[in-house]
Chains A and B, each alone.
Chain A
């Protein structure tokens, strides 16, 4: 099992460009998440999908859109990249369910720089 995979690993964009970060999991998990990691700020939730067909905003959704394409795949789109979106982006998945223990499994991350 590959677990959670993310592409690309690195990306450099110019301000105003758009791109889509891809994420896939092979653990048959219901829930998937997108986080960004900035120094000294931990991980902040951008969007999550509790189950196939649903998406919800997290703490920092502005400037991003998501698509839960199917149970395996959850993509994050930057429509018009800004330097403030320079960060490391992590996708995660979990079995889900609305109550209780919720171990999240993380991908290796995408390092994005916006010039």
Chain B
């Protein structure tokens, strides 16, 4: 079945850029998403990219998609302590119910 993989931990210094990587196996993925989970809370959608796009930028966030390698990344520019959270990569196919999440990357931002 479909699988989504992420490294589990990332530490960066405040003000640096963070890059969170994700690989997926389902070549029919149509949409790829990044969700953020703050401590004790549910997940919130950060951004998403359609599979026919290579890049999407939204303020400090840049999403890059390499469809050939099935690789997705999320870059956060000028990382702040408020960005400390768990970031989940997720993918869905043409049929939106086939929604698969990665294990999440815990981002720690050091002062």
Contact = CB atoms under 8 A, between A and B. Distances in A.
A104 B41 contact: no
B99 to A, nearest CB: 7
Interface string B82-99: 000000100010111101
B58 to A, nearest CB: 14
Given A42-B88, A106-B43, A108-B42, A31 B97 contact: yes
A101 B103 contact: no
B88 A43 contact: yes
Interface residues of B, number: 24
B44 A106 contact: yes
A96 B42 contact: no
B106 to A, nearest CB: 10
A96 B99 CA distance: 12
A94 interface: yes
Nearest to A98: B95
20 contacts: A31-B97, A33-B99, A35-B101, A40-B8, A41-B103, A42-B104, A90-B42, A90-B43, A92-B43, A96-B96, A100-B31, A100-B96, A101-B31, A102-B92, A102-B97, A104-B45, A104-B99, A106-B44, A108-B40, A108-B41
